[in-house]
């Protein structure tokens, strides 16, 4: 019995010490966001330059509520873009991208064909969706990317609260940058009006669409 009590006490002591060490360690190693807004060193901020979208590790997607029940996701698989990042003053950074509307993918071939039709994106007439930033604002710890989104020939001002998730160099010396962003737009503002109400009055498709970006950018090493 004494051995069991001693063993239990020893385990509890090791667990408590581990928690203390872990807490102290995490307290000393600030998160990227803490370094960023505390004016961390350049190696933690990344290098200034034009980061091209790494399409193999990025996505441009959306979510729409179906019949008031669940959010159905979709993606544009064919896209290109650039983040012109200013390490000294992030508010001087710019972003632009183009997504091919024909590449819409919700995982259901029949639905994707319908989305390409005149009921939705009318891709034969409007092949691209584009975004070009007009400013980046910083308020406290919140960064907001402001710009113009063009879809189906309609240009609207939109804003994306953004999160710079960090920087890292890969084995080839390429500086990689992570950025995530999410915002809500009204599809009817862009002429996407298909879909009525269900018998209970709930919309078959929500007017509000959540647009989601998960972007990894690449800045190749400078040529010597």
201 CA to centre of own chain: 33
pLDDT in tens, the chain (224 residues): 444 433 344 434 333 333 333 333 333 333 444 444 333 333 457 899 999 999 999 999 999 999 999 999 999 999 999 999 999 999 999 999 999 999 999 999 999 999 999 999 999 999 999 999 999 999 988 999 999 999 999 999 999 999 999 999 988 889 999 999 999 999 999 999 998 888 888 899 999 999 999 999 999 887 76
Q: What is the pLDDT of residue 19?
A: 34
C-alpha angle 208-132-47 in degrees, rounded to nearest 5: 115
Q: What is the pLDDT of residue 34?
A: 42
4 CA to centre of own chain: 52
E strands present in 77-186? 79-85, 94-100, 104-105, 128-139, 142-151, 154-169, 175-186
User: 111: number of CA atoms within 13 Å, CB side?
Assistant: 10
Which letter, b or e, does each residue of 147-167 get, where b requires 16 or more Cβ atoms within 10 Å of its Cβ?
bebbbbeeeeebebebbbebb
Cβ atoms of residues 172 and 150 within 8 Å: no
Q: How far apart are CA 137 and CA 205, in angstroms?
A: 33
C-alpha angle 177-181-186 in degrees, rounded to nearest 5: 150
Write down the pTM of the prediction: 0.78
Q: How far apart are CA 207 and CA 185, in angstroms?
A: 8
Q: What is the pLDDT of residue 222?
A: 79
């Amino acid at each position: 019995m004494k051995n069991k009590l001693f063993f239990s006490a020893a385990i509890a002591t090791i667990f408590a010490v581990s928690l203390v060490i872990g807490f102290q360690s995490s307290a000393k190693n600030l998160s990227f966001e803490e370094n960023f807004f505390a004016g961390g060193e350049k190696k933690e901020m990344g290098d200034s330059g034009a980061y091209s979208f790494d399409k193999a590790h990025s996505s441009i997607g959306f979510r729409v509520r179906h019949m008031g029940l669940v959010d159905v996701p979709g993606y544009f698989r064919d896209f290109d873009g650039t983040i012109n990042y200013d390490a000294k003053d992030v508010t001087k950074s710019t972003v632009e991208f183009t997504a091919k509307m024909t590449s819409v993918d919700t995982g259901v071939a029949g639905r994707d064909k319908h989305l390409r039709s005149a009921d939705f994106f009318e891709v034969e007439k409007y092949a691209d969706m584009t975004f070009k930033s007009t400013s980046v604002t910083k308020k406290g710890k919140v960064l907001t990317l402001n710009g113009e989104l063009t879809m189906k020939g309609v240009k609207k001002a939109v804003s994306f609260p953004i999160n710079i998730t960090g920087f890292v160099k890969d084995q080839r010396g390429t500086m990689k940058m992570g950025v995530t962003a999410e915002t809500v737009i009204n599809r009817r503002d862009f002429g996407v009006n298909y879909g009525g109400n269900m018998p209970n009055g709930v919309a078959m498709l929500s007017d509000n669409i959540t647009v989601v970006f998960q972007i990894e950018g690449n800045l190749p090493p400078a040529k010597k």
